[in-house]
Chains A and B, each alone.
Chain A
Amino acid sequence: METSTQNQVSGGKHLTSAITFLFLGVAIVATVGFTLHKVSADPQAKMYATTNGTINYNGQNLKHAFITEGVYPEPIASKAHGASGGSHLNWPSYGPATHLVLPAHAYVTMTLHVYDSGEKLNTNYFAKVVGTVGSTATFDGASAGSILATEVQHTFTLHGIPTSTQDPLFVNVPLPRVVADDKGNNIPTNDPGTNKSGHTVVFSFVTGGAGEYVWNCEYPCGDGTYAKFGAVMGSTGYMSGKVSVING
């Protein structure tokens, strides 16, 4: 009888120990998860679109928001990685920020001053202007629905995960490359603070409700790994970033 009682007590202790270790394990995993989440907080600088008046679009009065970005062949000029340009001085970069914050239900006009060279796209589809008002953009003042897929320097491609909790948003605008002739003609970009020659691309699109999206470049401008999508293309904050559409 004593042995049986001892076994029961021993079994109870084991069960308690097992449950304690289970909770301890869950606590450790949760702590690691929360810590990693905190450490991985968004390091990208934010740029907020400025709102100026309203615009009538398809019978709706929408806030008119403006945002301007540049695309540079090196990170120093982009100003997105500090005065020193960060640790990758030969990487192209958008700038001065790569986390764009846009108002919800707004008519957004985006201006891109672009200064890099380029070649051809992996997929010709991204040479088309998609998702903008009129499916067009202006390239140095001339409106067009596409450019040559062999003369692209980068693209601005905005997309997100289709969910029932946020409106779909897709924009693709190809950015024409800068070549020697462009420099010879000294195409102005009205980009303050730079003397570079380049192109200015302007387009507009309409945001839906609040949501989180991403943008990235579809031109293979990385190193030789992952079909030229390694290095800069495999790192956020240079040729890719976030787009937050917010209320208010």
Chain B
Amino acid sequence: MADHSAEEMAPTPGERITGFFKRKDVARTTILFVAWTTLFIVLGLVFYPKWMPIVMSKEMKSAESIMIWFTVISAPIAGIVLAVTTNAFLDMHRGDTPPPDGPAIRTNGPIVAIWTIGSLLFALVAIVWGLLEVNSQAVAAGNDAKSAITIEVTGAQWLWTFKYPAQGIETHDLNLPVGVPVVFNVKSADVNHSFWPVQLGVKIDANAQVTTVTRTTPTMIGPIEVKCAELCGLYHAYMETNGAVMSKTDFNAWVVAQGGHTS
């Protein structure tokens, strides 16, 4: 008679994973996970682009891509959370004797490894993507520095004003020429605000003590909305203004109409 040792009888990692997924509750959770994940992926790829503001700059295109792909990437995480929640809801045992708890997942080495490595990969993708995007915008800002127009943006309760030093004008509308890089020097005349030209994909704090800087290059002609994204008092909700990206000819005509001069 051969004497099998305890090691020979222990299940292999593959058998442990197979066994884990054969459990009734795990099988149902897996199906729910696939369903929820698919729903969020469809949401990210199909509906998000329709719900997002019109893309009118390279920065907005980047922001939209990040929103869409981060939604897709994080879909499995939302999927597993909602799958477990849904499964728990469907398998409620309130009022009767609940079944005993199953084996703890923390003792299942392969499952813990998959979970940890998967989470690590998600986090790395997010960090690397973000760093690459920040770097590309910094490089573009350096290249465009000489050709950019500068606008002094001032937030005041509860209106924005825009000074164009080179053109010699100050307005409450933000008009920009298409294809020309623009540098926004942003400050506040009173409390903290947040400058957000929505369709241009940039947003930055407007502080009373410090001038903050953000850049963009409009790529499409059309109207834009400028909002305050920092709760700033009674009429914060009304701290919005009109703006437009226009052809260079129209922009120059507008500057002249405002009493300014073109370079």
CB atoms of B241 and A162 under 8 A apart: yes
Q: Nearest-CB distance from A67 to chain B (Å)?
A: 21
Query: Which residues in chain A, 1-51, are within 8 Å of chain B measured between CB atoms?
Result: 6-7, 10-11, 14, 18
Expressed in whole angstroms, the minimum distance between the Cβ of A63 and any Cβ of chain B is 25
Q: Is B191 in contact with chain A by the CB < 8 A criterion?
A: yes
Q: Are B225 and A122 in contact (CB under 8 A)?
A: no
Which residues on A sit within 8 Å (CB–CB) of B238? 159-161, 214
Q: Are B191 and A227 in contact (CB under 8 A)?
A: yes
A162 near B190 with CB under 8 A, answer no
> Is B212 among interface residues, defined by CB-CB distance under 8 A?
no
CA A234 to CA B96, docked complex, whole Å: 56
Which chain A residues numbered 221 to 248 have a C-beta less than 8 Å away from chain B? 226-229, 233-236, 240
A122 touches B190 (CB 8 A): yes
In chain A, what residue has the closest Cβ to B159?
Answer: A159
- The yes or no answer to A123 lying at the interface (CB within 8 A) is yes
Q: Are A234 and B154 in contact (CB under 8 A)?
A: no
In the assembled complex, the CB of B18 is this many whole angstroms from the nearest CB of chain A, namely 28
**Given known contacts A122-B190, A123-B161, A162 and B172 CB-to-CB distance under 8 angstroms:** no
- Which residues of chain A come closer than 8 Å to B154, judged between CB atoms? 123, 125
Check if B237 is an interface residue, CB within 8 A of chain A: yes
Q: Decide yes or no whether A152 CB sits under 8 A from chain B.
A: no
Given A160-B238, A162-B242, A220:B190 Cβ within 8 A: yes
Across the interface, do A229 and B190 meet the contact criterion of CB distance under 8 Å? yes
Contact A240 B234 (CB under 8 A): yes
A123-B156, A160-B238 known; A7 vs B225 contact (CB < 8 Å): no
Which of B154, B159, B241 has the most chain A CB atoms inside 10 A of its CB?
B159
Q: Smallest CB-CB separation from B92: which chain A residue?
A: A14
A218 at the interface (CB under 8 A from B): yes
Q: Tell me if B254 is interfacial: C-beta within 8 Å of chain A.
A: no
**Chain A neighbourhood of B234, CB < 8 A:** 216, 229, 233-236, 240
B 232-248 contacts with A by CB, 8 A = 233-235, 237-238, 240-242
A226 near B191 with CB under 8 A, answer yes
- For the complex formed, measure the closest distance between the CB of A47 and the CB atoms of chain B, giving whole angstroms: 20
Number of B interface residues, CB 8 Å?
A: 27
Contact check, B190 vs A226: say whether CB atoms are below 8 A apart: yes
- B240:A214 contact, CB within 8 angstroms: no
Encoded as 1 (CB less than 8 Å from any B CB) or 0, chain A from 85 to 120 comes to 000000000000000000000000000000000000
Q: Which of B91-115 contact A (CB under 8 A)?
A: 92, 94-96
Residues of A within 8 A of B (CB-CB), count: 32
A168 CB-CB contact with B under 8 Å: yes
The reply on A136 being an interface residue by CB < 8 A is no
Interface membership of B149, Cβ < 8 A? no
Residues of A within 8 Å of B156, CB to CB, are: 122-123, 126, 218
Q: Which chain A residues lie closer than 8 Å to B190 at the CB level?
A: 122, 220, 226-229
Instruction: Answer whether A7 and B233 are a contact pair too, CB < 8 Å, given A125-B170, A159-B159, A227-B208.
Output: no
CA of A83 to CA of B162 in the docked complex: distance in angstroms?
42
- Let me know if A205 is at the binding interface, CB within 8 A: no
The smallest beta-carbon distance between A6 and chain B, in angstroms, is 8
Q: Which residues of B contact A162 (CB under 8 A)?
A: 225, 240-242
**Judging by beta carbons under 8 Å apart, are A10 and B225 in contact?**
no
What is the CA–CA distance of A216 and B156 in the complex, to the nearest angstrom?
12
Q: Which residues of B contact A236 (CB under 8 A)?
A: 234
In the assembly, what is the distance between CA of A11 and CA of B93, in Å?
A: 8
A235 contacts which chain B residues (CB < 8 A)? Answer: 234
Chain B contacts with A in 220-240, Cβ cutoff 8 A: 225, 233-235, 237-238, 240
A170-B235 in contact (CB<8A): no
Which A residues touch B240, using CB under 8 A? 161-162
Known: A126-B156, A227-B191, A235-B234. 11 other contacts (CB 8 A): A7-B96, A10-B96, A123-B156, A123-B189, A130-B172, A162-B241, A218-B156, A218-B157, A218-B159, A227-B208, A229-B233
Task: Supply 17 A–B pairs (Cβ within 8 Å), ascending by A.
Answer: A14-B92, A122-B156, A122-B189, A123-B154, A123-B156, A125-B170, A159-B241, A161-B240, A214-B235, A218-B156, A226-B157, A226-B191, A228-B190, A229-B191, A233-B157, A233-B234, A240-B235
Residue numbers of B with Cβ under 8 A of A are: 89-90, 92, 94-96, 154, 156-159, 161, 170, 172, 189-191, 208, 225, 233-235, 237-238, 240-242
Shortest 3 CB-CB contacts between residues of A and residues of B: A227-B190, A122-B189, A125-B161
